[in-house]
């Protein structure tokens, strides 16, 4: 399973009927980290009336939270969350700081303003794909290691660091279908002498 987050923080601003809407998008992987971002933005703008927020977490976007922070119920957090989900992003928190300009926008106006603020920020974001990869280590003789590495790179496998002792321990991060293929490759090129060790699986950033 693969999904997309953002590669770096994004800031955007728009003015609607004299109210300023300042958007901050940041990449986070846990709920406490998302709440830390919200608290930090609040501290940076102590005079602002509202700091509305929404975040989506996890490869499947299962964790979703939003907060209207004093705006009429459903006019801020929910449309912000909808903008994140519609953009297909996860592991991201959005905070919209509103400086009230003296003109009431009404429920519909607020909903459109908060959603469009986040939507515009997501459009500016550089996307970072992430995928589930399993760590694999191949231990082999020095004369075989370069052959395995070269063929792995040719196939597009993610090649990591290597350790050198009496043998070479070359690390890889592989999609599940690639694990068996690399095992066969290592066995073939080493005439069966290579040791193949599979480790844990986790989500990693993929090349864009």
From the list 1, 18, 10, 120, the residue with the least C-alpha distance to 58 is 1
106 and 193 together in one domain: no
195 and 139 together in one domain: yes
12 and 53 together in one domain: yes
- How many beta carbons lie within 10 A of that of residue 151, not counting itself? 15
Number of domains in the chain: 2
187 and 104 together in one domain: no
Please report the sign of the dihedral spanned by the C-alpha atoms of residue 104, residue 72, residue 41, residue 27: negative
Kindly report the CATH number assigned to the domain that includes residue 70.
Answer: 3.30.230.30
Q: What is the pTM of this model?
A: 0.84
Residue-wise pLDDT tens digits, 106-156: 888 999 999 999 999 999 999 999 999 999 999 999 999 999 999 999 999
Residue-wise pLDDT tens digits, 28-71: 999 999 999 999 999 999 999 899 999 999 999 999 999 999 99
From the list 112, 167, 121, 172, the residue with the least C-alpha distance to 144 is 167
Pick the last residue of a domain from 77, 97, 125: 125
Rounded to the nearest angstrom, the gap between the alpha carbon of residue 48 and the centroid of all alpha carbons in its chain is: 28
> What is the domain range of residue 79?
2-125
84 and 66 together in one domain: yes
138 and 105 together in one domain: no
Pick the last residue of a domain from 72, 102, 125: 125
Residue 166 DSSP code: S
């Amino acid at each position: 399973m693969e999904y997309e987050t953002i590669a770096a923080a994004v800031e955007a601003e728009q003015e609607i009927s004299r109210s300023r809407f300042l958007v901050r998008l940041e990449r986070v992987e846990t709920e406490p980290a998302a709440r830390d971002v919200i608290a930090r933005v609040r501290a940076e703008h102590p005079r602002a009336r509202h700091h509305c927020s929404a975040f989506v977490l996890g490869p499947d976007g299962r964790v979703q939270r939003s907060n209207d922070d004093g705006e009429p119920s459903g006019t801020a957090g929910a449309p912000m969350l909808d903008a994140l989900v519609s953009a297909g992003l996860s592991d991201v928190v959005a905070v919209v700081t509103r400086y009230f300009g003296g003109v009431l926008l009404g429920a519909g106006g607020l909903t459109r303003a908060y959603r469009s603020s986040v939507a515009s920020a997501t459009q500016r974001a550089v996307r970072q794909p992430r995928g589930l990869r399993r760590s694999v280590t191949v231990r082999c003789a020095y004369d075989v290691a370069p052959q395995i590495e070269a063929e792995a790179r040719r196939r597009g496998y993610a090649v990591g660091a290597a350790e050198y002792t009496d043998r070479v321990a070359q690390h890889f991060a592989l999609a599940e279908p690639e694990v068996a293929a690399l095992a066969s490759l290592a066995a073939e090129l080493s005439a069966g002498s290579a040791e193949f060790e599979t480790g844990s699986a986790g989500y990693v950033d993929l090349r864009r």
